A and B are shown apart, each in its own frame.
Chain A
Amino acid sequence: DGGITQSPKYLFRKEGQNVTLSCEQNLNHDAMYWYRQDPGQGLRLIYYSQIVNDFQKGDIAEGYSVSREKKESFPLTVTSAQKNPTAFYLCASSPQTGPYGYTFGSGTRLTVV
């Protein structure tokens, strides 16, 4: 079955560490996205990619980095520069950045300890 997989489901990070969240899709979608969700809040866009080897910053890109070396994969690195990284991170994909609904992964909950 086609879908989008995020791993790990839960992640704990020490202060000052970088961590990488994985996102893989087998839907043959061109576009992929990363959103951050805080309790009681909507989804805020971190980065998105419309095509391999290209990506654009979203509204809250500071302290995050991404890569898009393969169509299927769009990993997100939360760097030590991100001051408040504890949140629920959601990855999504769509056929293109046109008028299409997104397919979301099940999310990664990152906690700083």
Chain B
Amino acid sequence: GESVGLHLPTLSVQEGDNSIINCAYSNSASDYFIWYKQESGKGPQFIIDIRSNMDKRQGQRVTVLLNKTVKHLSLQIAATQPGDSAVYFCAERGQAGTALIFGKGTTLSVSS
């Protein structure tokens, strides 16, 4: 079935470094992708999204890259801060009218 996965379950960085969190997806027909941030005991928060007709999208300190050739999605966080420590999920929409499918998440730990 459709699935979204992540390359690494954990990522540890130093404060001020740039972080890159990767995600592989399996459905080449997916047309919409989102990154969410989830802090412990809370619901996920929207970070940034990208449609399949785009390769890159930038937000404040975050960039999402989409490589449809290899079905790969990445989230780049510039100048990572301790407050960025959380679990990050990618999600995809496989078909019109269906719900988002989430990956297992990457735990980002930022040390100061």
Stretch at the interface among B59-67, B68-76, B95-103: B95-103
**Is residue A35 within 8 Å, beta carbon to beta carbon, of the partner chain?**
yes
Q: Which of A30-57 contact B (CB under 8 A)?
A: 33, 35, 40-45, 48, 50
Question: Given contacts A97-B99, A103-B46, A106-B42, are A42 and B51 in contact (CB under 8 A)?
Answer: no
A35 B32 Cβ-Cβ under 8 A: no
A101 B102 Cβ-Cβ under 8 A: no
Which residues of B line the A interface, CB within 8 A?
1, 4, 9, 31-32, 34, 36, 41-46, 49, 51, 89, 91, 93, 96-105
Which residues of A line the B interface, CB within 8 A?
6, 33, 35, 40-45, 48, 50, 58-59, 90, 92, 97-99, 101-107, 109
A42 B44 Cβ-Cβ under 8 A: no
State how many angstroms separate the Cβ of A65 from the closest Cβ of chain B.
Answer: 17
Listed A/B pairs (19) with beta-carbon separation below 8 Å:
A33-B100, A40-B9, A41-B104, A42-B103, A42-B104, A43-B44, A43-B91, A45-B99, A45-B100, A59-B1, A92-B43, A97-B97, A97-B98, A97-B99, A98-B96, A99-B31, A99-B32, A101-B49, A102-B100
